[in-house]
């Protein structure tokens, strides 16, 4: 398992769990440190379930055993205690009476943690295959709606700037129309925090049916989007009060987009360099010149 990942894994899997399994997951997330001192039987008693339920929970989230869970929690706690940004001292909760200084600390810590977790869990082979596919693509479609729509547009902007034939689609009918026209020479990127957004999944699956290479950017490796993709790139999130995971994940998914952008620029160096050279003058030309004081 990638570093710092077990609580993120549980948080990701929790919406799919029901009843007693969900109770176990919620208690672990509520106080991971306390759980490391519990036996499976004791955790079962605390959640009003049983030792067998705790074991089933571990398997449901992809862990081999309860002992595996304890090891991962202890290792994650150890990493937090030596973290440069002090994740052990600053929790995710913000109360109405908290100072602005604490708000800034909590939000900044959560974002840094999500970014570091994303870097730690990047599958370099998958990243390379995705970049190679984008570099040789005849055409690139990017699908995403809602909060992921902003990342979709950012992905389009970056790849377009280095000479890629790319279009970001944030409306399902237009996205599906474009997907139906793709070929095996093309690439489709689906961006969705949950990996289960129908408006993103529909054109993504259509693109796959047309033979295009499909790349999923999501926080959930078991989501429908992930399962449908040829290549999966997984980001992390770290929520705080007033910021759901779908909001806090935006920084970390942009890390993946940045890595793809830079690698594609490397792989298409001459084209990317020429494209940047031809467009570098545009932004400065539109800057308002300050007037000299008289």
Residue 2 has pLDDT above 70, yes or no: no
- The better pLDDT of the pair 290, 128 is held by 128
Q: Is 240 exposed, middle or buried (0-12, 13-18, 19+ CB in 10 A)?
A: buried
Confidence of residue 221 (pLDDT cuts 50, 70, 90): confident
> Would you give the DSSP letter of residue 123?
-
What pLDDT shows up at residue 105? Answer: 84
Confidence of residue 90 (pLDDT cuts 50, 70, 90): very low
What pLDDT shows up at residue 199? Answer: 97
Q: Is the pTM of this model over 0.85?
A: no
Confidence of residue 243 (pLDDT cuts 50, 70, 90): very low
Which tokens hold the place of 291?
Answer: 């007037």
Percentage, residues of the chain above pLDDT 70: 87
Beta-strand ranges (E) seen in the chain are: 140-143, 166-169, 187-191, 213-218, 231-234
Residue 259 has pLDDT above 90, yes or no: yes
What pLDDT shows up at residue 245? Answer: 52
Mean pLDDT estimate for the chain:
87
Residue 81 has pLDDT above 60, yes or no: no
What pLDDT shows up at residue 74? Answer: 84
- Dihedral (C-alpha) 121, 125, 129, 131: value to the nearest 10 degrees? 60
User: Do β-strands 231-234 and 140-143 pair in parallel, antiparallel, or remain unpaired?
Assistant: unpaired
């Amino acid at each position: 398992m990638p570093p710092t990942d077990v609580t993120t894994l549980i948080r990701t899997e929790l919406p799919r769990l029901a009843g007693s399994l969900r109770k176990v997951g919620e208690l672990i997330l509520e106080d991971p440190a306390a759980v490391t001192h519990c036996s499976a039987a004791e955790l079962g008693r605390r959640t009003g379930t049983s030792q067998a339920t705790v074991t089933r929970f571990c398997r449901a989230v992809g862990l081999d055993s309860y002992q595996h869970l304890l090891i991962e929690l202890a290792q994650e706690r150890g990493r937090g205690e030596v973290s440069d940004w002090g994740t052990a001292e600053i929790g995710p909760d913000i109360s109405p009476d908290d100072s602005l200084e604490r708000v800034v600390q909590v939000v900044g810590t959560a974002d840094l943690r999500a970014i570091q977790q994303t870097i730690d869990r990047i599958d370099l082979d998958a990243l390379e295959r995705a970049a190679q596919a984008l570099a040789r693509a005849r055409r690139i479609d990017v699908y995403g709606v809602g909060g992921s729509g902003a990342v979709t547009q950012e992905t389009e902007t970056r790849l377009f700037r280095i000479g890629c034939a790319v279009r970001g689609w944030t409306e399902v009918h237009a996205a599906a129309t474009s997907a139906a026209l793709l070929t095996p020479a093309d690439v489709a990127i689906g961006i969705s925090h949950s990996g289960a957004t129908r408006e993103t999944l529909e054109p993504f699956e259509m693109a796959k049916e047309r033979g295009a290479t499909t790349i999923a950017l999501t926080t959930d490796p078991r989501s429908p989007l992930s399962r449908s993709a040829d290549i999966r790139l997984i980001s992390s999130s770290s929520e705080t009060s007033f910021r759901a995971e779908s909001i806090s994940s935006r920084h970390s998914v942009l890390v993946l987009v940045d890595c793809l952008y830079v690698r594609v620029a490397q792989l298409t160096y001459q084209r990317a360099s020429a494209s940047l050279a031809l467009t570098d003058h545009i932004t400065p030309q539109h800057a308002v010149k300050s007037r000299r004081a008289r």
